[in-house]
Amino acid sequence: MSLKTETIGKLKKLFPMLSSNHDGEVIAAVKAIQRVLDKEGASLHDITSALGGGRDRVVYKNRIVYRDRIVEKVVYKEAPSPTPPPPPPRENKINKVDHVRIIRLCEVLLTERHITEREFTFINSLSIRAQRYKERFNLTDRQIDWFDAIVKAHKADE
């Protein structure tokens, strides 16, 4: 990547600041150089190649030192992440239920004063769905268990 003349002009002003005797000024100069390069979409490697040195591609080597030998391993990219496990099988089976019985019990339960707001919302939604779908109305095992528990707790089936 070639650098624009404006960018090179800014860098010419910043590079002499790297020779300062004060560490803070050197760090500030390096950060300023990095900001100028980031704004241009370039990096320090582009400056090196513009000066005529270095390679276009940088290869990093990991050096593993054992007691008896040294092993060099070239790393080009990270390993792909593992695939997530498949989702567990669904536990709830859908069951056909008697929609007329559900509607009748829902009407009784909705007039009950001692049901919670959560139970009221659940029963109301069952009533609406049972009236809409009629013979095609169905519930999961968990919904049936919860509805039966509400009916037993409020003795609405009597």
Please give the pLDDT value at position 4.
Answer: 80
Please give the pLDDT value at position 31.
Answer: 92
Which residues pair with residue 94 across a beta bridge? 140
* Separation of alpha carbons 150 and 124, rounded Å: 13
SS (H, E, C) 91-152: CCCEEECCHHHHHHHHHHHHCCCCCCHHHHHHHHHHHHHHHHHHHHCEEEHHHHHHHHHHHH
Please give the pLDDT value at position 79.
Answer: 53
**Contact call for residues 69 and 24 (beta carbons, < 8 A):** no
- Kindly list the domain boundaries of the chain, sorted by start residue: 5-50, 94-154
From first to last of the 158 residues of the chain, give the pLDDT tens digit: 577 888 888 888 888 888 888 889 989 999 998 898 888 888 877 777 776 655 545 555 566 666 666 666 655 555 565 676 777 766 666 778 888 999 999 998 888 878 888 999 999 999 999 999 988 888 888 888 899 888 888 876 65
